[in-house]
Amino acid sequence: MSDKEVALITGANKGIGLAVARQLGVLGYAVWLGCRDAQRGAAAAAALRKEGLDAQSLVLDVTNAGSVEAARASFQQEAGALDVLINNAGISIGSAMRASEEPVDDMRAMFEVNTFGAMRMTQAFLPLLRKVKGSRIVMVSSSLGSIAETSDPAGLFWDVGYPGYSASKSALNMLTVKLAKELMPEGIKVNAINPGYTATDLNGHNGYRSVEDAAKIVVELAKANPLAPTGGFFHDGHATQHRHAW
């Protein structure tokens, strides 16, 4: 077991997840890369270790309860407790179609990863988070899940589609608030962030923001800070300053 603070990041073999792991590792965290593909996860962790960081991979599929439970058992044996859980794994299926035309099966698949996967991980690893004073949970969400912004004719997202993806993030935002209120008496912080339109595999690398810049927002909320808020939704590189509309 390490005497460092320990962070577990899902979907961490590439993109924002890997950038978060790298930045936390530089800050002295022991980082665990939760990855569905064992080979890719091991390769990503090995690359971080070559940079002098404390990194391990953990095979898990957030859509599979058995896989998550096996990962929790393995992690508990190796690390014992968890300081930070970052629910980063997410998918987007299909094109920016209308809600009346998007296949429900595609919507269900996105909810399974983006919403239920995050909750499955949180419920499974909560006993390990409870072993640490001031532990943190960070949900990587999206402003596309903001009902306030989506319903504003003058807003950025009035004409944006992706109904199933957006709904899965709206549900994640609500569950973030519910968890934050529930865990507040225990001192566990739960927040969601919008990393911005980041160039990743999720959008065909069309985003304007780099994964490194997006990761900075996540890392700010992941770091220990007794004065940090809980139950918030943060955006645009100012995680400690700007609380964005749900």
Q: What are the pLDDT digits (tens) for 141-169?
A: 987 877 777 777 876 776 777 889 999 99
Q: Which of 165, 178, 181, 189 is catalytic?
A: 165
How large is the average pLDDT for residues 7-11? 97
Q: Is residue 12, in this structure, part of any structural domain at all?
A: yes
Q: Is residue 241, in this structure, part of any structural domain at all?
A: no
Q: Is residue 216, in this structure, part of any structural domain at all?
A: yes
Q: What are the pLDDT digits (tens) for 173-201?
A: 999 999 999 999 999 999 999 875 554 55
Q: Is residue 58, in this structure, part of any structural domain at all?
A: yes
* 169 tagged catalytic: yes
- The domain spanning residue 131 has which CATH number? 3.40.50.720
Full-model pTM: 0.90
42 exposure class (CB count in 10 Å sphere: 0-12, 13-18, 19+): middle
Q: Is residue 1, in this structure, part of any structural domain at all?
A: no
Which stretch of DSSP H or E encloses residue 233?
strand 233-235
Q: Is residue 243, in this structure, part of any structural domain at all?
A: no
Q: How many domains does the chain have?
A: 1
Q: Which of 29, 169, 189, 223 is catalytic?
A: 169
Q: Is residue 240, in this structure, part of any structural domain at all?
A: no
Dihedral class, residue 236 (left if φ above 0, else alpha if ψ from -120 to 50, else beta): left
94: its two tokens: 């299909």
Domain span at 110: 6-235
Q: Is residue 211, in this structure, part of any structural domain at all?
A: yes
* 29 tagged catalytic: no
Indicate the SS3 state at residue 26: helix
232: its two tokens: 């918030």
